[in-house]
Amino acid sequence: MVSLHKYDVVIVGAGGAGLMAALHAARGARVAVLSKMWPVRSHTGTAQGGIGAALGNHEEDHPEWHTFDTIKGSDYLADQDAVKILCEEAVETVYELEHMGLPFNRTEDGRIAQRPFGGHSNNTTGQPVRRACYAADRTGHMILQTLYQQCIRQHITFLNEFQVLDLLLNEGVVCGVVALELRTGALHVFHARAVLFATGGWGKVWQITSNAHSFTGDAPAIAWRRGIPLEDMEFFQFHPTGIYRMGILITEGARGEGGVLINGLGERFMEQYAPTMKDLASRDVISRAIYLEIRAGRGIEGRDFVYLDIRPEVVNRYFDLDGKKNADGSPRRISAADIEARLPDITDFVRTYLGIDPLTQPMPIQPTAHYAMGGIPTDVHGRVVVDEANTVLPGLFAAGEVACVSVHGANRLGTNSLVDILVFGRRSGIAAARYSQAADWVPLPAHPEQAVREWLDELRGRPAGRERAADIRETMQKTMMEYVGVFREGAGIQRAIETLRDLKERYRQVSVTDRSATFNTELLETWELGALLDLAEVTAVAALNRTESRGAHAREDYPQRDDVNWLKHSLAYRMGDGIELRYKPVTILDYPPQARVY
């Protein structure tokens, strides 16, 4: 039994991008949102520190500065036309959120409060600028809640706990998706004029990650299997400050409020690596610095972590050393109460999971796999493009972390993920609705659910007990952490690729013990592991091919950025069981590549 549904636009994923797209698409089309979770569970909710927009509520700021910072942060791999749109539309997007009801923190005069964040600077002085608009340290939570609230108000149709497993095409045009309803195990075919993927990232490829269990790269894996390329997959961001061994994120806002990184000698080591921006340099720069300190034996007690220190007396000491002043010229100060008020969730996490009080003790941290710069290639309208000439695949759209526009290039700046999901969520929602108004219904292929059903039948028919998904997942995560992490080198990546190919062989032997149709999360996790393995392999192969260091991709055997040969985006295609890499140029407008110093 297969249920058939028909909508103008089917949106897959209900985080910030999917919900923003839904709100705007629903103004001109019949829309359904499919999500494997309840929308309020989406990973957008875990974003903490803020959303970047040059409102200038505290001090001079301009979208042009935001644009330059983003391009510099990207190590010049971002497409500059897209970045310009990102930073200009960031401003109206933040106001739109405020009008929807988002409870931003406020300034003394009632405007949206802003804090400094990594890589965001006053372009004249080079000093950090207050650009991150925030709601305490739960900005993402408030964005997710606010958008979902508006969707309720607009009566958007949601199909919650529906796992999309396949994308349907007919003669080169996208016409729907196949989904599994978790509650019943039933298959559903969604016939659509336009499909919009907004399923987020895939940090679960790595062992230490800030990402949710559900962040398994479902849509990019589906797209990849249907012949759509994946762009810039070698660039995956490691956030410098994950809680040691757990990977739980501690927002860059902690450093925005004055927190400092300290090594085993008690030194504020970022002064050596980034003399101007120091602890607010770009994430890739800081993650590498932490690895280098640890490698040189300067981790805490010689071990594999350093401290993030937000104790008020420490922060105030460095404010004085840096000569930080308030607007009225008085020395900048922070109190324990300020920290509790501005970083309540962080203090709570640290107390809960580490059993220490960050107001009196420094926090042990290590870099944690955090964000996919790469993904499904799109243009600035969220239309999926499939080759070097940016040829549009009719009917398919993507937005948010799953997409690669590319606004983040080789390294994303903090706060720009929230800007990206909303600016391009809106753009893609509008574009998908417009497309659906003009496009004819493309008939579904014969037996649209056949590929999914064959996979399910084959999986259920496997003999029990040969391989366990958990073992394969753990080996993949450790392998990627060791060889395709903050630092990489050719032989290590090669070893990772061999391991991954072996794991993919073993994956074919994984059996599912749960034979029931009802809420079969074992089946779901097994399918998700297949997606992760595919994306891990693409990541490793793209990383091996790129023989330079740029942004988050740091090759020890090729330590320099190489603009002559490598100022280009990679496009990875599935070719049978192999992977073919092609490349497309970067759009450079006003900012030619320069040396990147913080």
Contact footprint for another protein (CB under 8 A): 37-38, 40-43, 45-46, 55, 94-95, 98-101, 103-112, 135-136, 138, 141-142, 145-146, 149-150, 152-153, 183, 212-214, 246, 248, 345, 348-349, 352-355, 468-470, 512-514, 516-522
- Least Å distance, CB 345 to another protein, is 7
CA angle 160, 214, 27 (to 5 degrees): 40
**How far is 527 from 37, CA to CA, in rounded Å?**
16
For the CB of residue 350, give the shortest distance to another protein in the complex, in Å.
11
* % helix, strand, coil for the chain, step of 5: 40, 25, 40
**Nearer of residues 39 and 395 to another protein, judged by Cβ:** 39
Q: CB 96 → another protein: shortest distance, Å?
A: 9
Say if residue 592 is exposed, middle or buried (CB neighbours under 10 Å; 0-12, 13-18, 19+): exposed
Instruction: Check the CA dihedral 114-313-125-275 and report its sign.
Output: negative
CA distance 137 to 134: 7
Count the Cβ atoms, other than its own, within 10 Å of residue 107.
13
578-585 and 568-575 strand pairing: antiparallel
Active-site entry in 131, 255, 283, 288 = 283
Using the minimum distance from each CB to another protein, give the nearer residue, 348 or 590: 348
Are β-strands 31-35 and 2-12 bridged in parallel, bridged antiparallel, or unpaired?
A: parallel
CA dist., res. 201 & res. 370, Å (int): 9
CA–CA dist 177, 444 (Å, integer): 10
Smallest separation, CB 422 to another protein (Å): 15
Half-sphere exposure of 159 (CA within 13 A, CB side): 24
Distances (CA, A) of 463 to 409, 432, 460, 508, 510: 45, 44, 8, 11, 9
Residue closer to another protein, measured from CB, 338 or 388: 338
Distance in angstroms (rounded) separating the CA atoms of residues 598 and 119? 8
Side-chain-facing half-sphere of 438: CA atoms under 13 Å: 7
Q: In the complex with another protein, which residue's Cβ is closer, 7 or 104?
A: 104
CB nearer another protein, residue 40 or residue 336: 40
Q: Which is nearer to another protein, 524 or 567 (CB)?
A: 524
Cα(16)–Cα(10) distance, rounded to whole angstroms? 16
Residue type at 336 in one-letter notation: A
Tokens 């510099």 belong to residue: 72
The minimum distance between CB 470 and another protein, in angstroms, equals 3
Q: For the chain, give the number of residues.
A: 598
Long-range interactions of 316-324: CB distance < 8 A, separation 24+: 316/258, 318/258, 318/260, 318/268, 319/258, 322/278, 324/258
Tokens 């070719």, located at residue: 575
CB of 306 to another protein, least distance (A): 19
Q: How far is the CB of 386 from another protein (least distance, A)?
A: 31
CB of 380 to another protein, least distance (A): 24
> Whole-angstrom Cα distance, residue 301 to residue 377?
44
**Active-site annotation holds for 283:** yes
Q: Which is nearer to another protein, 104 or 224 (CB)?
A: 104
Q: Which is nearer to another protein, 243 or 536 (CB)?
A: 243
Count CB neighbours of 453 within 10 A. 16
Strand partners, 188: 3, 179
Query: To the nearest whole angstrom, how small is the minimum distance from the Cβ of residue 89 to another protein?
Result: 15
> Shortest approach of another protein to residue 449 CB, angstroms?
22
Task: Name the residue nearer to another protein (CB basis): 180 or 579.
Answer: 180
Which CB, 149 or 494, lies closer to another protein? 149
- DSSP label at 101? T
Task: Find out whether 300 and 246 touch, Cβ atoms under 8 Å.
Answer: no
Check if the beta carbon of residue 39 is closer than 8 Å to that of residue 144.
Answer: yes
Give the distance from CA 155 to its chain's centroid. Answer: 28
Where in the sequence numbering do the catalytic residues fall? 283
